[in-house]
């Protein structure tokens, strides 16, 4: 009975030691981001911007009959996205690593509809390989304060995505009282990874 109690105690102590391993920042030398190297350069003074290819068109469209009176009454203001509103960047670690959490340091005051996904597949299969990070999934980042995302899994690739921002200052008028608004990507100063210290 005493041996069994000691064995259970030893397992409990070992389990607590594993759970209480200190979390450390992953050095930037283990991280790469081809599209936005500023995201992981270790310098909070630099910033990278998501690439976006698209614009928003807003205009009145007529629905229904031919008569002017009917057409006027059935006009609706329609918003259409030409191209792609969604932007993304992929950060790669040099080896699969258990990541406890990631901190995002925004440079834009709003990063709309931000989300993360991860995979350990190499190369990643974009259709099925990425697993969603459920923490704050598809929520806006507002303000310039760093935001922490719980990951708690092995990661080789981290895929971040966000919606483009309407650049209303550079909008242009079109026919039918319409307007075309270019989309611009949000900016990030740094993405920091934190994981367990390995022996």
Lowest-pLDDT range, 73-82, 115-124, 132-141, 181-190?
Answer: 73-82
Give the three-class secondary structure for 49: strand
Whole-prediction pTM: 0.78
Residue 57 pLDDT: 79
* Dist. CA 199–CA 193, nearest whole Å: 18
Within 8 A by CB and 6+ apart from 125, the residues are 119
Residue 9 has pLDDT above 50, yes or no: no
Render pLDDT for 142-169 as a digit per residue (tens, 0 to 9): 999 999 999 999 999 999 999 999 888 8
My answer on whether omega of the bond before 83 falls inside 30° of 0, hence cis, is: no
Please give the pLDDT value at position 168: 82
Q: CA–CA separation, 30 vs 93, rounded Å? A: 6
Q: Is the pLDDT of residue 6 over 50?
A: no
Please say if the pLDDT value at position 87 is more than 80. Answer: yes
Percent with pLDDT over 90 in the chain: 57
Is residue 11 within a helix (H) or strand (E), and if so which, with residue range? helix 2-19
Res 119 pLDDT > 80: yes
CA distances from 109 to 94, 112, 113 (A): 31, 10, 13
**Would you place residue 170 in the very low, low, confident or very high pLDDT band (cuts 50, 70, 90)?**
confident
- Which pLDDT belongs to residue 54? 83
Q: pLDDT exceeding 70 applies to what percent of the chain?
A: 77
- What is the residue-wise DSSP string for 134-195? -TTTTEEEESSS-EEEEEEEEEEEEEEEEEPEE-GGG-EEETTTEEEEEEE--EEEEEEEEE
pLDDT of residue 161: 96
Q: Which residues make beta-bridge pairs with 172?
A: 180
């Amino acid at each position: 009975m005493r041996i069994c109690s000691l064995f259970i105690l030893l397992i409990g102590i070992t389990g607590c030691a594993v759970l209480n391993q200190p979390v450390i920042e992953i050095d930037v030398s283990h991280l790469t981001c081809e599209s936005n190297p500023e995201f992981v350069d270790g310098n909070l003074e630099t910033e990278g911007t998501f690439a976006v290819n698209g614009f928003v068109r807003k205009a009145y469209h007529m629905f229904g009959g031919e008569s002017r009176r009917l057409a006027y009454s059935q006009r609706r203001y329609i918003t259409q996205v030409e191209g792609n509103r969604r932007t993304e960047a992929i950060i790669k670690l040099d080896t699969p690593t258990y990541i406890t959490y990631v901190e995002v340091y925004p440079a834009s005051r709003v990063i709309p509809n931000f989300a993360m996904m991860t995979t350990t597949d190499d190369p990643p299969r974009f259709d099925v390989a990425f697993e969603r990070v459920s923490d704050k999934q598809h929520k806006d980042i507002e303000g310039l304060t760093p935001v922490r995302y719980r990951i708690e899994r092995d990661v080789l690739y981290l895929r971040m995505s966000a919606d483009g921002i309407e650049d209303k200052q550079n909008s242009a008028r079109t026919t039918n009282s319409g307007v075309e608004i270019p989309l611009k990507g949000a900016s990030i100063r740094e993405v920091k990874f934190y994981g367990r210290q390995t022996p």
